[in-house]
Chain A
Amino acid sequence: MSRSYLFIPGNTPSMLQNLDVFESDAIIIDFEDSVLTYDKDAARILVKEFLTKFNFKEIEIFIRINDSESPFFKEDVLLTNDLNITGYVLPKALPSSIDQLLKITDKQIIPIIESPMAVLRLEEIARKDQIKGLLLGAEDLTKELNINRTLEGTEILFTRSKIVLTCNAYKIESIDTPYTSKDDEQGIYKDSLNASNLGFTSKSCIHPNHVDVINEVFSPSQEDIKQSLRIIKKAETNTKGAFSLDGKMVDAPIIEKAKRVIVQAKKYNLL
């Protein structure tokens, strides 16, 4: 489980060689929008040489390949499939394009939900093999719907909620769309909080300065951690399935949730 997914342009050495500096739990190296058409070959070779030379144990690394309709799709995968990466982020995803990708890789896949059709066929997408989570691409989606993006995000509320519900039901990660206003520190905080409150497990970003806020918002709070520790402690000494703590019933699902919080807290060095 990753809180933050940071997009890094695939053909920019100064960003690539610093990808581990920004403390993002996961990195998405981009071959799509941030790489010019005539430099797609250069990006593949650069990333291949980079990941062959440098190893990242603590970070999940994904590559956003070009979409399945583009002439770059296959080569993007074939040239990188042997690298030490967790998987691929697939733009303009639909059930059929995921099938195409499944044929050429056994790595994890994060489809980007950025078309009305993908929103309609969300469950079908979530049910596919090797799906790590779904990532909302609100910029392209709203463009297709011909509506304006706003900070409040009313226009994507339905899609956000549907993604959260679907991902939760299929036990995969739900990754919110990036916040595009680079220097608005209040904005990224509000937008992250909004996503977290809706139930997203994670948020993506295109600017490194957003990672810290996302990590903070998507981490369990100190109160959560404290309470979870108490629940686990009491559960260990308790022989019955359920017990009461501070006058509230604690049963198996609550204990499970407390354990998950502690796993996260340990992973993110919050204890």
Chain B
Amino acid sequence: MTKQANTNKIIKTFDDFYNIIDIHQYKNISFHHHLRNGDYVLNMVLNHYLEKKVNNINLYPSAIFPSYSSILHLLENNQIDNITTNYCNGPVAEFISNNGLSGKLTMQTHGGRARSIIEGRSKIDIAYIAVPTCDPSGNAVGYLGNNRCGALGYPIADSLHASKVVLITDNIVDYVDSPEIKSENVDYIITIDSIGDKQGIISGTTQVTKNPIGVKIAKNTAKLMDELELIKPGFSFQSGAGGISLKVTDYVKETMKRQNIKASFFSGGITKYHVDMLEEGLVEKLYDVQCFDLEAVDSISRNTNHIPISASQYANPNDPLMVIKDLDIVILGATEIDYDFNVNVTTDSHGTIIGGSGGHSDTASEAKVTIIVSPLIKGRIPTVKKRVTTITTLGKNIDCFVTERGIAINPNRKDLLKKLLNSKLKIVPIEELAHIAHKYTNIPKEAKKRDKIIGEVEDRTLEIIDYLYLK
């Protein structure tokens, strides 16, 4: 594909852009979610599709956040056929759960999305990519500029493979060094006043838990990792930005300091806690696909060992550079987990869509030890069920489930169980954890059977591992 020469890519306004491009011809469109709830760009673009009554849209946002109200309006007007995404939360999620789509909803993983785009399964006509900083030729990064968001891991595959690549920015500089999005892939640059609202871009919710139940779960996880001898020189580790995961990271840090251990890398979503450990010399490299706070964002530009990576390099199983194939430990959450260790983070127990895999299934599939941390009971709902409402990550990829009242180990992991034979921790079968929960909650009534399929959960292997149903 030939892209335009460097000089004439810049377009002053969206209106000028729509004069050049007939959007009715381009129905498969993609966005990224690095600006999270602060994103102005997605709504700006889609409101135009709404006005111009573009029908049969196929949407490929890497995630859908509560502020993405234009999607809701398009759905209400029945202008969208299919949505393919990795995470969906808020009014759009509720609407789809209650009404379905005229086509279907496909829930992918971060690695799976990149793979689908690269391998041509997801054909994107226009990738609308909000970038916090770019140069006039279209070299762009996410970690510079007033509305900086950090690594731009998710839209890189889009920029390489979409028919038309449109950058939207509020900050054009003379020259961008080592760009994440490369000029040779960029067709147009649209300049606007502001791509987003700072407050919403950096959520500020990444805090270590102080809740005593959460602290207890983190403590149990730390003790488990200790007994399994997982914290050893050169180990690699990923923990999300959840409060319990971060508390686990805190304990891992203590252990590393006490035993003078240095880790090789941390990967995934990066927070100030990970940055601190990099700066204290406790870990060699951070492979960052997404930043969760400003400290993480600013660390990229000053520390060469804090490396932004693409979603493909992060988690695409067919990417030879995939970082997580060397991952030793990952700490993940769960809305539900079942007797086969299948984990759900896609729907709540009422069947409403509340999230999605993101990198959950990717990292669980690759890491040598996958640890799920969750309270045993949430608002009277036991976390353990016979069968989860929706499978996000297959049980064969889950090894340990840690709660405040005990730990279950996947029976397939005989090696781990052997190591824990003389454990001081309360190691029990997962069914026993369900019984403990039921002593408090009693057995919840099964949700009514639902049979109208509205979407599917597609694993990074391309296998359909579960279906989503109309509520």
Given contacts A183-B210, A209-B210, contact A21 B405 (CB under 8 A): yes
Please state if A21 and B213 are interface contacts (CB–CB under 8 Å): yes
- Complex partner residue of A207 from B212, B404, B405, CB under 8 angstroms: B212
B144 to chain A, nearest CB (A): 35
Please state if B213 and A212 are interface contacts (CB–CB under 8 Å): no
**Main DSSP-derived SS at the B contact region:** helix
Say if the beta carbon of A18 comes within 8 Å of chain B.
Answer: yes
Give Cα distance in the complex from A209 to B218, angstroms: 11
Given contacts A18-B213, A207-B212, contact A212 B219 (CB under 8 A): yes
The interface bits of chain B over 207-228 (1 if a CB of A lies within 8 angstroms of the residue's CB, else 0) are 0001011011001000000000
Say if the beta carbon of A22 comes within 8 Å of chain B.
Answer: yes
Cβ contacts under 8 Å, A18 to chain B: 212-213, 404
Say if the beta carbon of B424 comes within 8 Å of chain A.
Answer: yes
Given contacts A17-B440, A21-B404, A209-B210, contact A269 B216 (CB under 8 A): no
Given contacts A212-B219, A269-B424, contact A22 B212 (CB under 8 A): yes
B405 to chain A, nearest CB (A): 6
Give Cα distance in the complex from A21 to B215, angstroms: 11
**How many residues on A have C-beta within 8 angstroms of the other chain's C-beta atoms?**
11
- The residue of chain A having its C-beta at the shortest distance from the C-beta of B212 within the complex is A208
- The residue of chain B having its C-beta at the shortest distance from the C-beta of A207 within the complex is B212
Give Cα distance in the complex from A22 to B216, angstroms: 7
- Complex partner residue of B215 from A17, A209, A269, CB under 8 angstroms: A209
Cβ contacts under 8 Å, A183 to chain B: 210
Give Cα distance in the complex from A18 to B440, angstroms: 10
Q: Which A182-198 residues have a C-beta within 8 angstroms of B?
A: 182-183
Give Cα distance in the complex from A17 to B219, angstroms: 20
- The residue of chain A having its C-beta at the shortest distance from the C-beta of B210 within the complex is A183
Give Cα distance in the complex from A209 to B208, angstroms: 13
Please state if B212 and A209 are interface contacts (CB–CB under 8 Å): yes
Cβ contacts under 8 Å, B440 to chain A: 17
Give Cα distance in the complex from A207 to B213, angstroms: 12
The interface bits of chain A over 234-271 (1 if a CB of B lies within 8 angstroms of the residue's CB, else 0) are 00000000000000000000000000000000000100
Give Cα distance in the complex from A2 to B148, angstroms: 54
Give Cα distance in the complex from A207 to B440, angstroms: 23
Please state if B210 and A21 are interface contacts (CB–CB under 8 Å): no
Give Cα distance in the complex from A207 to B215, angstroms: 12
The interface bits of chain A over 1-32 (1 if a CB of B lies within 8 angstroms of the residue's CB, else 0) are 00000000000000001100110000000000
A22 to chain B, nearest CB (A): 6
A29 to chain B, nearest CB (A): 16
Cβ contacts under 8 Å, B405 to chain A: 21
A69 to chain B, nearest CB (A): 33
Cβ contacts under 8 Å, B212 to chain A: 18, 21-22, 207-209
Q: What residues of chain B have their CB less than 8 Å away from a CB belonging to chain A? A: 210, 212-213, 215-216, 219, 404-405, 424, 440
With A22-B212, A209-B210, A212-B219 known, 16 other A-B pairs at CB within 8 A are: A17-B440, A18-B212, A18-B213, A18-B404, A21-B212, A21-B213, A21-B216, A21-B404, A21-B405, A22-B216, A182-B210, A207-B212, A208-B212, A208-B216, A209-B212, A269-B424
Q: List 20 A-B contacts (CB under 8 A).
A: A17-B440, A18-B212, A18-B213, A18-B404, A21-B213, A21-B216, A21-B404, A21-B405, A22-B212, A22-B216, A182-B210, A207-B212, A208-B212, A208-B215, A208-B216, A209-B210, A209-B212, A209-B215, A212-B219, A269-B424
Q: What residues of chain A have their CB less than 8 Å away from a CB belonging to chain B? A: 17-18, 21-22, 182-183, 207-209, 212, 269
